[in-house]
Amino acid sequence: MYTLSSKLKLTAIIFIVVGAIGMIYGFLAAPSSIEDVEKIIAEQEAHHGGGHGETAQMQDHGNEGHHEAQTEHAEGHSEHEATEEKHKSSHAEHLLHQLQNKPWAATYVAAFFFFMIALGALAFYAIQYAAQAGWSPVLYRVIEAITAYLLPGSLIVLLLLVLSGFHFNHLFVWMDPEVVKHDELIQGKSAYLNVPFFLIRAVIYIAGWNIFRFLLIRNSRRHDEADHNRWFKQSFKLSAGFLVFFIVTESMMSWDWIMSVDPHWYSTLFGWYVFASLFVSAITTIALITIFLKSRGYLEYVNNSHIHDLAKFMFGISIFWTYLWFSQFMLIWYSNIPEEVTYFITRIEDYNLPFFGMLVLNFIFPLLVLMNSDYKRVNWFVVMAGIVILVGHYIDIYNMIMPATVGESWFIGIPEISAVLFFGGLFIFIVFSALTKAPLLAKRNPYIKESKHYHY
């Protein structure tokens, strides 16, 4: 049995407290009125020494979908030689919305990131059962513990979505009836994109995942004490069922929770793209926690062949992610259709560093570090690559949400880092608490002997 060390518990709690303080600061520091924003603009101008014209010009081609109606409004006015004063106030209002969104978006990105790790771990777990994998049963309790974050993580995301639905924030621009009124594209999609249906769908996904998770974990525990394989066989069928449910709901979840922040834009492989991100983050987390526990003297049956296999998955899924990223990017870049290509223009113009930096972190780094077969067995190589992959995929989610919600006012500052600390601390606390609840070896798993002697 694993016991949660007080040091780890304290670290997690410090993360949560520091994160919570930072997040509260983020919400309090967000400007509440146009006057505040005008002050900020004045400060920025003084600081940069640039004229207002420059800022306004940048604003004009910053067409990031959110409050597009207002941007168009502003553009229309400038065409009709609107007074400088009017333009200025519309710009300030635009900036106000972005800055008010910023702490919400920071919270949402971090909440989603840690939630998706738990969901990905559950998918990985179900794949092991459905494939009747012989190498992995010694890792099952680690994976089960990671999925323990699914319930709190998904409920936090649901809470944020409900708050958006009740207009506490404006992450989802299509939820604003004022915007929809002036937007024919969103009007056409409103049969699907409306708040009640959106929340009903979210509840269905979350309930489904958590029920499957509950049943699978219950079977795993019962199987430990049983003298037959009925629970194991049931888990096999449940896992197959879950994988079908998962790939449909995960796809729809990615449209609902991520793609709809850019309601004009769509990509048909978006579900796969988010899946690749979620899956590689989950496998990386499994590898990191396994290595951590092994270094603390637990998991006596895990050998470097198991680490090797996890690292192979990290390497393979990183390349799979890149393949999907590129497939999405190249087709849109090549066809150059305005309503599609704005998505990448915003990211290349306003998010150049995170957008291309993420490719280095998620593709080039794992490619070079984990290519050599021997390096995949060296713990510190896997840990180093793992940390870079997790940072890279946080930035990936960041790039999905931020351009549509905060536009060019992005910055990874106190609200963003605090949100990561808060949800990271919560994740560590829940996952490691879950590890203490069951023996670290699923001792009666029919494949456990094969797994113990697994040797590549």
Closest separation between CB of residue 226 and other proteins, Å?
33
**Which residue's CB is nearer to other proteins, number 360 or number 387?**
360
Closest separation between CB of residue 259 and other proteins, Å?
22
**Which residue's CB is nearer to other proteins, number 133 or number 247?**
133
SS3 annotation, the chain: CCCCCHHHHHHHHHHHHHHHHHHHHHHHHCCCCHHHHHHHHHHHHHHHCCCHHHHHHHHHHCCCCCCHHHHHHHHHHHHCCCCHHHHHHHHHHHHHHHHHHHHHHHHHHHHHHHHHHHHHHHHHHHHHHHCCCCCCHHHHHHHHHHHCCHHHHHHHHHHHHHHHHCCCCCCCHHHCHHHHHCCHHHHHHCCCCCHHHHHHHHHHHHHHHHHHHHHHHHHHHHHHHCCCCHHHHHHHHHHHHHHHHHHHHHHHHHHHHCHHHCCCCCCCCHHHHHHHHHHHHHHHHHHHHHHHHHHCCCCCCCCHHHHHHHHHHHHHHHHHHHHHHHHHHHHHHHHCCHHHHHHHHHHHHHCHHHHHHHHHHHHHHHHHHCCCCHHHHCHHHHHHHHHHHHHHHHHHHHHHHHHHHCHHHCCCCHHHHHHHHHHHHHHHHHHHHHHCCCCCCCCCCCCHHHHHCCCC
**Which residue's CB is nearer to other proteins, number 326 or number 411?**
326
CA angle 339/343/349 to nearest 5° reads: 125
Which residues are at the interface with other proteins (CB under 8 A)?
326, 329-330, 333-336, 371, 373
Whether the Cβ atoms of residue 157 and residue 114 lie closer than 8 Å to each other? no
Closest separation between CB of residue 372 and other proteins, Å?
8
**Which residue's CB is nearer to other proteins, number 330 or number 387?**
330
**Which residue's CB is nearer to other proteins, number 3 or number 335?**
335
**Which residue's CB is nearer to other proteins, number 204 or number 341?**
341
**Which residue's CB is nearer to other proteins, number 267 or number 285?**
267
The Cα 438–Cα 320 span in angstroms is 34
Closest separation between CB of residue 93 and other proteins, Å?
35
- Identity (one letter) of the amino acid at 257? W
C-alpha distances in Å from residue 53, one per residue of 45, 56, 85, 159, 394: 10, 5, 12, 41, 35
**Which residue's CB is nearer to other proteins, number 295 or number 336?**
336
Closest separation between CB of residue 352 and other proteins, Å?
14
**Which residue's CB is nearer to other proteins, number 14 or number 371?**
371
Closest separation between CB of residue 333 and other proteins, Å?
5
**Which residue's CB is nearer to other proteins, number 101 or number 328?**
328
Closest separation between CB of residue 336 and other proteins, Å?
7
C-alpha distances in Å from residue 267, one per residue of 62, 262, 327, 331: 21, 11, 10, 10
Closest separation between CB of residue 455 and other proteins, Å?
9
Closest separation between CB of residue 330 and other proteins, Å?
5
**Which residue's CB is nearer to other proteins, number 334 or number 380?**
334
| Token digits of residue 237 | 């069928």
Closest separation between CB of residue 86 and other proteins, Å?
35
| Token digits of residue 352 | 């150049």
Closest separation between CB of residue 391 and other proteins, Å?
24
